[in-house]
Structure 1
Amino acid sequence: MNKNAIIAIVLIVVIGVAGVGVYLMIQPVHNRYEIAIVFATGGLGDKSFNDGVKLGADKAHTDYNINFTFSEPGAISDYESLIRGYAAHAGLIQPYALIISVGFDQADAVMAVATDYPDQEFAIIDMFIDPVNYTNVASVLFTENEGSALVGAIAGLMTTTDKIGFLGGMDIPLIRKFYAGYVYGANITNPGISYTAQYVGDWADTATGKTMTHGMYTAGYDIVFAAAGRSGLGAFEAAKEDNATSPHPTWVIGVDSPQMYLGCANTTNPVAPTVALTSMLKRVDIAAYDLMKDAVIGTWVSGLKFYNLVNGGHDYEVNTALRTLPPSVISQVEMIRTGIINGTYVVPSDVYWT
């Protein structure tokens, strides 16, 4: 065999081996582009919390070609079996790059499965799990009280009756963070304002949410901030129905996702007017996107990550096509935002009144 032939054979072998090597390096990375999501009870279609997470996941899929699968539990008792099923990763060459649990009430299930699958990475949105004991779990929390203070300030300035209401999904610390911030912000712009709260006791009971909101409007509370998941959709229905006959405006403030369009007569092709003043944006879409991106590019870490006013975790919705808030209102709310960020205003994280 001549020298040139030997060189040619060597090159073919090197190229062939290199090709296999590249394939072997890429293939596991590709499999790590699989993410699993267990949504909160109430499921997709809430136009709020779950849908916000899905929005972020869809963007991560587009930007990073991340494939994801998801489950919509019918009950809290379903959480552990769903998470455990993903951790077992049947049919996958590699484990899921990340299993994301959406909602505080998945914490027990996450801890149970994370203990049994120490090499699997997990994340939970809206609850803290100690990274000392669970080194494979990332926790995401928000300062809902801060974001709620901004929309509370708007409510305090826009109310015509000096009475504002709050519709919560459940009477739990997480939801009371929304209420506490809302009332705090309203008291900054309208000291002595009256307020009340009603709790549905369910995340997906639109009918009860509607009935409770009707009751608040009837009692003279002209603005209702609905932080109740799918149950909160009932507040928009009540506001639209009551607005035509009430002696005062009946306005609603949305939550988590941009919901002002839900206050329009036609929500498919929304045009002004809307009964929604604004929405308190809780950017779970950003959190989900960041978790998925970090998992596939190798920057995921366990422990706690906060989203707040400083890093864009919260804001209030501005949709001038549907409603324009007075410039004086925007100016005061922005001053309050600055005051919260620099510590002038310290927003409570739970109800501070009796």
Structure 2
Amino acid sequence: MEQRTTAVVIIIILIIGMGAVIFLGPMLFPAPAKVAIILGTGGRGDLSFNDGTYAGAVRARAELGWNFDYAEPDQISEFEGYLRDYAAAGTYEIIICGSFDQSDALTAVAADYPNQTFAIIDNVVVAPNVRSCVFQEHQGSALVGALAGLMTQTDKVGFIGGEDMWLIHRFAAGYVWGANYTNPGVNFTVQYTNSWIDTAVGQNLADAMHASDVDIIYAAAGRSGLGAWTATRNKISAATNTTNLWMIGVDSPQMWFGTSSYDDPTAAAAPTFALTSMLKRVDVACFDAIKDTHDGTLNSTTGTIETYNLSNNGLGWEINGLQPFSNLTETYTLVEYDPPLLELPQSWITQINNLKAAIIAGTVTVPDTIYWT
């Protein structure tokens, strides 16, 4: 009888214990904090902006232990739906909008969810619960434009933008200004794909530029810009080609993309037809927003605007070749190729770094909007 009583007591204790674990489990073993990210249209695989944003989230997961979910909208009309779904879930420490054209959707959703923290990259949303991350792209674009001015053999450089609007004008203005800084009077052509995902349009625009003797193209057009790389690769491979053609990458390190191993950055080796890349550290902006939320230093009661430029290494230019964001080291620093993918004259590097120093010091001012007619 005593043994039976003891067994019953043990069973009751186990039942109570299991119930306590079930009831207190979430408090004793909380689920890892999560972040939600809505990438720009086109999603991952652009080798540029979206991939950079994603890399920032991967870094946060590795360093902070915060998991993340992400969406890859195909259309602008999908932004608000994803935002509302993530906000309504109530399980995300911060929701990050990874493109300028999410501002309207974020303005509406942030007002409806005042206790949810948000961030947006590449635009400003004035709301107490939103961090806005903006870049002075004209500064970085001036550096790669200056290199284009030194390198061009035809005195004709080209720019392909994703849309004829204020943000892309900053890229174009800085690039054209920089080319004229080192090569006064250089000819330039500026065209727009009016799409961020149409590689065929980017390829056609580049083909037309090559036909008019443009020998260097800077493309800031998302996935559409990859078409310009294809056009340049095809033109260089043509038996009739006698011109040295160059591409300039954008946002992420892209010099490896101009090598014969453009499908495998780990195997990339010289030569490359990529002259440089304008580095826009969207990975850092994404990581900073997550880390500041994690550390409790992101001021979500007044809203903040974080500006990234040459002075804080939010922008830069790729020299000699860097592996892409997907190949960051464990310390999340960019890795140089050894040997370099392209060796520039040291005098050119010095000249452009001097320009960089002058921009940071404020002794040189780069226009941030279209200044020609």
Give the TM-score normalised by structure 2. Answer: 0.84
**Aligned partners of 1:222, 1:350: CA distance in 2, in Å?**
24
CA RMSD across the alignment = 1.8
Q: Secondary structure at the match of 1:124?
A: strand
List alignment gaps of at least 5 residues for structure 1: 1-19
The 2-side partners of 1:108 and 1:154 are apart by 37
Q: Who is 1:143 aligned against?
A: 136
Counterpart residue number, 1:48? 48
CA distance in 2, matches of 1:234, 1:183: 21
Match of 2:271 in 1: 273
Task: Give 1:283's aligned residue.
Answer: 281
Question: Which residue in 2 is equivalent to 1:69?
Answer: 69
**Identity across the alignment (%):** 50
Task: Say if 2:111 is the partner of 1:115.
Answer: yes
Shift of 1:321: 2.1
Alignment counterpart, residue 293 of structure 2, candidates 275, 292, 295 = 295
Partner of 2:101: 105
Q: How do 1:123-134 and structure 2 match up within 5 A?
A: 123-130=119-126, 134=127
Instruction: Provide the rounded CA distance (Å) in 1 between the counterparts of 2:28 and 2:122.
Output: 34
Counterparts of 1:331 and 1:226, CA distance in 2? 25
Query: In the alignment, does 2:221 pair up with 1:228?
Result: yes
Residues 43-92 of structure 1 show CA distances to partners (whole Å, capped at 9, x for unaligned) of 11000000000111111110111100000011111000100000011xxx
For the 8 Å contact 1:309–1:341, the answer to whether it is kept is yes
5+ long unaligned stretches in structure 2 = 1-20, 322-338
Q: Match of 2:329? A: none
Residue 95 of structure 1 deviates from its aligned partner by 3.2
- Residue 25 of structure 1, CA deviation: 7.3
Task: Say whether residues 1:345 and 2:346 are aligned partners.
Answer: no
Contact 1:161 1:248 in 2 (8 A): no
Hey, which bits of structure 1, 4+ residues long, moved more than 2 A? 22-28, 244-247
Judge conservation of contact 1:236–1:275 (CA < 8 Å) in 2. Answer: no
Q: Which residue of 2 aligns with 1:305?
A: 306
What are the Cα deviations for residues 260-293 of structure 1, in whole angstroms up to 9, with x where unaligned?
A: 1111122212221111001000000011111111
Please give the alpha-carbon distance, in whole angstroms, between the structure 2 residues aligned to 1:336 and 1:217: 29
Specify the code of the residue in structure 2 equivalent to 1:326. Answer: P
Match for residue 253 of structure 1 among 248, 251, 255: 248
CA distance in 2, matches of 1:214, 1:201: 17
Give the one of 339, 343, 346 matched to 1:324.
343
3-state DSSP of counterpart to 1:202? coil
Question: Is the deviation greater in 235-244 or in 101-110?
Answer: 235-244
Q: How many residues align?
A: 327
